[in-house]
Amino acid sequence: MLRRGLLMVALLACAGAATPDDNPFLPVAGAEFRSALPLDKRDAVRVRSFLLQSHPVTNREFLAFVTLHPQWRRGAVPMALAGADYLGAWSAPLDPGPAATAAQPVTRVSWFAAQAYCEAQHARLPDWYEWELAAAASASRRDARSDPAWRQQVLDWYSRPAGKTLPAVEQGSANFYGLYDMHGLVWEWVNDFNSLLPADADPEKFCGSGALTLQHKEDYAVLMRIAMLGSLRATDTGHLVGFRCARDAGGVP
């Protein structure tokens, strides 16, 4: 048993050595940024420079994590930290199997699990403003949100019918920062997912007339994301909800 464990660690080490940076943390320059969130009642928020992983964490990457951290394996995680469907698409606790291929984004992970994964990488989940800033970029512009063509492209991604199987990561093109899949692949957990709506917001009203209080109604894709994240509980394990990690620009948070 011990030998097998050592072998596994050795294999992981080799895999790591072969592709040391296959989900690198890429710099996103800080900016004064107008967010779609209504909360601060200001024109712009200040987002500091940070680093964000180039694509959503994959099944292969998450397998390495649960291999090293048995308490995060399916079946070992208490209900207080993840719903019953946690990693439900995997064949076994240490085998993603045919329904969850190596390069697909990992989904059916709770916010607690995503947070634990990032901590194990000496990283954290991005805050909403960070994610929103990074997701505002097209291939050529930092902030393409005023570009009707880009906006339509984003909306088209969202309205595309969801296939039975998720595509692999990095199938599209990278944005200005070199980030892949900010739109069109999975929803992504953010650190403050449960604080995006005003504390007294009625989620139903939010989706209807309440949405009129949001600052920039034209950003439908982003509003959908805010509404979706705001409706989640931290233990939810959605089949389309993945994540990627962030770091402070100065180094380990």
Partner 1 sequence: MKRVPSRLGGAIALLAISSLCAAADLPTDSVYQLGAQLTTQTGSSAGIDLYRGHPTLISMFYGSCPAACPMLITAMQAYESHLDKKSRARLRVLMVSFDAARDTPQQLDRLARLHRTDPRRWTFASAAEPNARRIAASLGVSYRRLPSGDFEHSLLITLLDSRGRILASTTKLVGDATFQARLQSATQPQEDTVVRSPASPGAALPLRTG
Q: In this chain, which stretch among 5-13, 24-32, 93-101, 195-203 interacts with partner 1, using CB under 8 A? A: 195-203
**Site residues (CB under 8 A) for partner 1, limited to 197-236:** 197-200, 233-234
80-102 core/surface letters (b: 16 or more CB in 10 A; e: else): ebbbeebbebbeebeebeeebee
User: CB 170 → partner 1: shortest distance, Å?
Assistant: 28
81 is an interface residue for partner 1 by CB under 8 A: yes
Q: Which of 208, 252, 243 is nearest to 128 (CA)?
A: 243
Q: Which DSSP letter does residue 89 get?
A: T
196: Cβ contacts below 8 Å, ≥ 6 apart: 37, 39, 128, 226, 229, 230
In angstroms, the Cα distances linking 122 to 2, 16, 110 are: 27, 16, 19
User: CB 44 → partner 1: shortest distance, Å?
Assistant: 10
Give the one residue of 12, 31, 45, 227 binding partner 1; rule: CB under 8 A.
45
Give the one residue of 121, 195, 215, 231 binding partner 1; rule: CB under 8 A.
195
User: CB 143 → partner 1: shortest distance, Å?
Assistant: 20
Residues that bind partner 1 (CB under 8 A): 39-40, 42, 45-46, 78-81, 111-112, 115, 119, 124, 191-192, 194-195, 197-200, 233-234
